[in-house]
């Protein structure tokens, strides 16, 4: 297969205007499915082999030509293109779930790229080079203090201390390192910054100006790397932007929106990965025979498969319902609440699928152990379940 050229139709040719009907949604997702079958699945035919940087860059070029990613200033039909209630959140969540059925790492990479473009549009910045958004701070989610900041509640001295531990604070005497996850081919880092008055703004930093270390031995999502950035006492040079993004309320709104989309993406990707594992388990248990019958006829195996599909149906329903919510800050608490509960379920379901293969499930060649690792990894990104619950406790505490 030629990994440098997509010869299918462009995604934005599938609809006539900006609104998405149910028919449009089915048509768009069918095109995404065709893209996955042609371009992604051949690269993951052997689960023990990780998609390399060059192959992932080729997939990114194809996704851009297809219209699934849209880094340019012109309106398109890609992931996180529009969140104005016209169905694009439903499309984006569905597309990421579908891509994750082939590869959770590729889906996460596409989400990261699309989220960078989304934040640029929110801030009024012109399209730029491939960007990564660093939403995850130094320590957890600043407990309940992040919720207080996003709800514009008065901040206490303890809140300020927690937030300054969490966000990048330019000019701090002992700046704390930040971790973020991305593929190899990014060029700019988009970072929310907090000043000494706890006013939020955004900055864009060129990759070559950052003191970075790539950590390649992360638990899951092998297609990407964990990047460790240790800022110095002198902040790196900011990439000039044509429009100022320093206004606090606009910066907070952009962060809240990106935080919400990230949560919805992580749920969708985890669900897609578990669906992949369940499909593998169903295929194996229909072929493997013991006691004169396929093992899917045995009660213990039936229960494991049933528990997995029960989680899948529940999480998919919740993911679809979240995508139908009005995209507003008031919906963030609901999204966080769902994410706090579903990741443990997804991790358990991924493990159930692995267990149906017995000892073979632990072998890299089966692909199930990677799905377990990927879901464990997704569970930890931008807030563990308990950190999200701490956030939620304050979000629901008063107006």
Tell me what pLDDT residue 356 has. Answer: 93
Angle subtended at Cα 184 by Cα 125 and Cα 258, rounded to the nearest 5 degrees: 40
Report the distance separating Cα 241 and Cα 244, nearest Å: 7
Give the model confidence (pLDDT) of 139-165 as tens digits: 778 889 999 999 999 999 999 999 988
Give the model confidence (pLDDT) of 346-374 as tens digits: 999 999 999 999 998 999 888 999 999 99
**Integer-rounded Cα radius of gyration of the chain:** 21
Tell me what pLDDT residue 234 has. Answer: 67
DSSP code of residue 238: B
Report the distance separating Cα 94 and Cα 107, nearest Å: 11
Give the model confidence (pLDDT) of 250-263 as tens digits: 999 999 999 999 99
């Amino acid at each position: 297969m030629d990994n440098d050229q997509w010869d299918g139709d462009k995604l934005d040719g599938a609809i006539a205007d900006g609104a998405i009907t149910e028919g449009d949604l089915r048509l768009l997702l069918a095109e995404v499915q065709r893209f996955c079958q042609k371009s992604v699945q051949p690269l993951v035919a052997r689960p023990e082999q990780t998609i390399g940087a060059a192959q992932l860059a080729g997939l990114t070029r194809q996704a851009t030509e297809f219209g699934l990613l849209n880094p340019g200033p012109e309106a398109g039909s890609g992931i996180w293109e529009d969140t104005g209630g016209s169905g694009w959140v439903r499309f984006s969540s569905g597309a990421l779930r579908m891509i994750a059925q082939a590869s959770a790492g590729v889906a996460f990479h596409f989400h990261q790229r699309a989220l960078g473009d989304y934040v640029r549009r929110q801030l009024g910045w012109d399209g730029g080079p491939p960007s990564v958004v660093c939403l995850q701070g130094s320590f957890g989610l600043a407990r309940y203090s992040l919720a207080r900041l996003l709800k514009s509640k008065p901040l206490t001295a303890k809140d300020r201390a927690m937030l300054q531990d969490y966000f990048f604070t330019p000019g701090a005497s002992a700046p704390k390192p930040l971790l973020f996850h991305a593929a190899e081919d990014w060029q700019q880092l988009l970072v929310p910054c907090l000043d000494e008055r706890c006013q939020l703004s955004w900055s864009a930093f060129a990759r070559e100006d950052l003191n970075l270390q790539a950590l390649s031995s992360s638990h899951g999502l092998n297609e990407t790397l964990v990047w460790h950035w240790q800022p110095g006492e002198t902040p790196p040079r900011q990439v000039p932007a044509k429009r100022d993004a320093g206004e606090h309320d606009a910066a907070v709104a952009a962060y809240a929106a990106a935080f919400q989309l990230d949560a919805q993406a992580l749920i969708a990707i985890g669900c897609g990965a578990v669906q992949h594992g369940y499909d593998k388990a169903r295929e194996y248990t229909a072929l493997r025979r013991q006691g004169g019958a396929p093992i899917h006829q045995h009660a213990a195996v039936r229960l494991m498969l049933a528990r997995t599909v029960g989680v899948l149906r529940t999480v998919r329903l919740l993911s679809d319902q979240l995508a139908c919510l009005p995209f507003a800050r008031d919906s963030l608490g609901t999204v966080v609440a769902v994410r706090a509960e579903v990741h443990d379920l997804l991790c358990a379901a991924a493990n159930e699928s692995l267990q149906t293969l017995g000892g073979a499930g632990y072998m890299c060649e089966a692909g199930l152990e990677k799905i377990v690792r990927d879901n464990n990894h997704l569970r930890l990104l931008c807030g563990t379940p308990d950190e999200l619950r701490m956030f939620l406790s304050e979000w629901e505490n008063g107006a």
